[in-house]
Chains A and B, each alone.
Chain A
Amino acid sequence: RKEVEQDPGPFNVPEGATVAFNCTYSNSASQSFFWYRQDCRKEPKLLMSVYSSGNEDGRFTAQLNRASQYISLLIRDSKLSDSATYLCVVNLLGGGYQKVTFGIGTKLQVIP
């Protein structure tokens, strides 16, 4: 099983739609989680951290489900500018060691 798994997509959704991505992780000891956005041929940029209680930033909502070992990203009222690849990042920390694992990314295409 891969350490971090994402559906690569593409997800093609119309403007205004709500879309959700999941990301599963294999190590139950993972401690911190992030969603990054990467535009074509650009660097990844932090979109939001994922907190245990769930968190929201405008149209974006991130949630963590430790029992089932996945995180999710919900985008409401999709805009054309949301078209990008969304990368899930999982951090495992302990004993002075940190392992950062990226998912392959889920490609979102918002269509007019």
Chain B
Amino acid sequence: ETGVTQTPRHLVMGMTNKKSLKCEQHLGHNAMYWYKQSAKKPLELMFVYSLEERVENNSVPSRFSPECPNSSHLFLHLHTLQPEDSALYLCASSQEFATVGSNQPQHFGDGTRLSIL
């Protein structure tokens, strides 16, 4: 059983649709992350939130818009996506972000498998 839950598990949408991915963590962590996993590529970090503030945005197109209303919830709003955006989107959390000397692994949700028609 994962302490990080993501919904929906699967999503098929057209390029003009607007949808949102949801992530909730039940671990009391202070940092949350969005990753994109495409076939035959390493996980790509998209966004990082620490204590509800965005601390990293890895040159992600504006058609992806994150939102972190509190430390337990993270959303990824999708708008006007492209076929190449089809991928598995993974949410993760860790106790803290950027604590020097720490050894803090990330805990992942099951992911949302997104298909863009």
Contacts from A to B (Cβ < 8 Å): 4, 8, 31-32, 34, 41-46, 49, 51, 87, 89, 93-94, 96-98, 100-105
Contacts and interface: CB of A to CB of B under 8 A. Distances in A.
Interface of B: 2, 33, 40-43, 45, 48, 88, 90, 97-111, 113
Secondary structure call for the B interface? loop
Given A98-B98, A104-B41, A104-B42, A44 B103 contact: no
Given A4-B42, A93-B100, A93-B101, 20 more contacts: A32-B102, A32-B104, A42-B111, A43-B90, A43-B110, A44-B90, A46-B105, A46-B106, A46-B107, A89-B106, A93-B102, A97-B98, A98-B98, A100-B45, A100-B106, A101-B42, A102-B43, A103-B42, A104-B40, A104-B42
Contacts of A93: 98-102
Nearest 6 CB-CB pairings of A with B: A98-B98, A43-B108, A102-B43, A102-B42, A104-B42, A46-B105
Contacts of A87: 42-43
22 contacts: A4-B42, A8-B40, A31-B100, A32-B104, A34-B105, A41-B88, A42-B111, A43-B90, A43-B109, A43-B110, A46-B107, A49-B105, A93-B98, A93-B99, A93-B101, A94-B100, A97-B98, A98-B98, A100-B45, A102-B43, A104-B42, A105-B42
